[in-house]
Each structure stands twice: as structure tokens, then as C-alpha cells.
Amino acid sequence: MLDLENKLSIITKACEDKKALDIKVLNISKLTPIADYFIIASGNSSTQVMAIADEVEDKMIEAGAGEVVKEGYQSGRWILLDFNDIIVHIFHKEEREFYNLERLWSDEKERNNLN
């Protein structure tokens, strides 16, 4: 069984290998029960976004992480990969700027005084 640190490492390396932009790892464990971490990354095109998602999924399956819940793959604009304790958001750079999840979750952290 993979521990959390290994999963984080595998996912971030897979993103780096496909030249993902602005990779962020957010610890959300004290903010919500849905996951312990969000990993957010982006690509310059739908093709790159899909390639990043494919690489993350392939590397996690190779490592024994089991099945992944995947949403948004067909559009290639915002792909979500759910590994239970880690949710990976891979955005086209324009969608990332629009939705700005980093700000949303940092605002939530401030509202809860969880510094």
C-alpha cells in the first residue's frame, strides 16, 4: 500500500515529467473531509492537459494505487483525478486563472484560522 508521501511524490513527478506549469500541493485535511491534499497543475493546451493526466494515472496505477475516478477528460480543459486522499486538478491555464482554486482554498483556510 502506498503511503501519502509516496503518492504525493509520484503525482508531482509525473506532472513535472510532462512539463506541467505551476504545480501546487495544498494540504486541505483540516478544511474538508473530501481529501487530505489537492494537487493543482496546468498545461498550455488541451493536449498537454490530457498528457499530464494520462501520466499521473499511469504512474499511480504502476505504483499500485488502484483505480482512479476521472472527470473532465474529454474536454481537456479541467481534468480531475480522485485518488481518495489526494485529488489532482489539471487545468488548461485559462481555466486555472478563471477558477483560481488556490485562492478559494487559502481564503477558506483564513476563515477557519488554520494557519
Instruction: Say if CB 93 and CB 42 are below 8 A apart.
Output: yes
pLDDT digits (tens, 9 = 90+) for 90-107: 999 999 888 887 776 665
User: Which residues make Cβ contacts (< 8 Å) with residue 16, sequence separation at least 6?
Assistant: 23
pLDDT digits (tens, 9 = 90+) for 6-64: 999 999 999 999 999 999 999 999 888 999 999 999 999 999 999 999 999 999 999 99
What DSSP designation does 30 have? T
Give the whole-angstrom CA distance, residue 25 versus residue 88.
9
The pLDDT, as a whole number, for residue 66 is: 81
Class of the CATH domain delimited by 4-111: alpha beta
What does the domain layout of the chain look like in residue ranges? Answer: 4-111
